[in-house]
Amino acid sequence: MKKIDIALQKTVAKRMIVDGEPWEKIMDETHLRLKDLKRIQRDEINPHF
Protein backbone atom coordinates (compact mmCIF):
# COMPACT_ATOMS: atom_id res chain seq x y z
CA MET A 1 0.00 0.00 0.00
CA LYS A 2 1.27 3.49 -0.79
CA LYS A 3 2.40 5.80 1.98
CA ILE A 4 -0.10 8.43 0.82
CA ASP A 5 -2.96 5.98 1.27
CA ILE A 6 -1.75 5.02 4.74
CA ALA A 7 -1.41 8.68 5.76
CA LEU A 8 -4.93 9.40 4.50
CA GLN A 9 -6.33 6.42 6.42
CA LYS A 10 -4.67 7.62 9.61
CA THR A 11 -5.98 11.16 9.11
CA VAL A 12 -9.52 9.89 8.59
CA ALA A 13 -9.22 7.58 11.60
CA LYS A 14 -7.91 10.40 13.79
CA ARG A 15 -10.85 12.63 12.83
CA MET A 16 -13.32 9.82 13.52
CA ILE A 17 -11.77 9.06 16.92
CA VAL A 18 -12.04 12.72 17.91
CA ASP A 19 -15.68 12.74 16.73
CA GLY A 20 -16.41 9.76 19.01
CA GLU A 21 -17.21 7.13 16.37
CA PRO A 22 -17.24 3.46 17.51
CA TRP A 23 -14.12 1.37 16.87
CA GLU A 24 -15.97 -1.03 14.54
CA LYS A 25 -17.12 1.77 12.25
CA ILE A 26 -13.62 3.27 12.09
CA MET A 27 -12.08 -0.13 11.30
CA ASP A 28 -14.65 -0.75 8.53
CA GLU A 29 -14.02 2.59 6.83
CA THR A 30 -10.23 2.85 7.22
CA HIS A 31 -9.26 -0.86 7.19
CA LEU A 32 -6.89 -0.25 10.10
CA ARG A 33 -6.46 -2.71 12.96
CA LEU A 34 -7.70 -1.93 16.46
CA LYS A 35 -4.07 -1.97 17.58
CA ASP A 36 -3.29 0.82 15.08
CA LEU A 37 -6.30 2.86 16.21
CA LYS A 38 -5.30 2.58 19.87
CA ARG A 39 -1.77 3.74 18.96
CA ILE A 40 -3.17 6.75 17.07
CA GLN A 41 -5.34 7.60 20.06
CA ARG A 42 -2.44 7.24 22.51
CA ASP A 43 0.32 8.95 20.50
CA GLU A 44 -1.35 11.50 18.24
CA ILE A 45 -4.38 12.66 20.20
CA ASN A 46 -3.84 14.57 23.42
CA PRO A 47 -5.27 12.44 26.27
CA HIS A 48 -6.25 15.64 28.11
CA PHE A 49 -8.38 16.82 25.16
Give residue 46's pLDDT band: very low, low, confident or very high (50, 70, 90).
confident
**Residue 13 pLDDT:** 96
- For residue 7, being part of any structural domain is answered with yes
pLDDT at 39 over 60: yes
What is the total count of domains within the chain? Answer: 1
Check residue 22 and report its DSSP letter.
Answer: -
Q: In the chain, helix, strand, coil percent, each to 5?
A: 75, 0, 25
**Residue 34 pLDDT:** 97
What are the φ and ψ backbone dihedral angles of 13, each rounded to 5 degrees? -65, -40
Closest CA to 13 of 25, 43, 46, 42: 25
Quote the mean pLDDT of the chain: 90
- For residue 49, being part of any structural domain is answered with no
Residue-range definition of the domain harbouring residue 28 = 3-44
Q: Name 30's Cβ contacts closer than 8 Å, sequence gap at least 6.
A: 9, 10, 12, 13, 16
Instruction: Give the pTM.
Output: 0.82
Give residue 48's pLDDT band: very low, low, confident or very high (50, 70, 90).
low
What are the φ and ψ backbone dihedral angles of 20, each rounded to 5 degrees? 90, 25
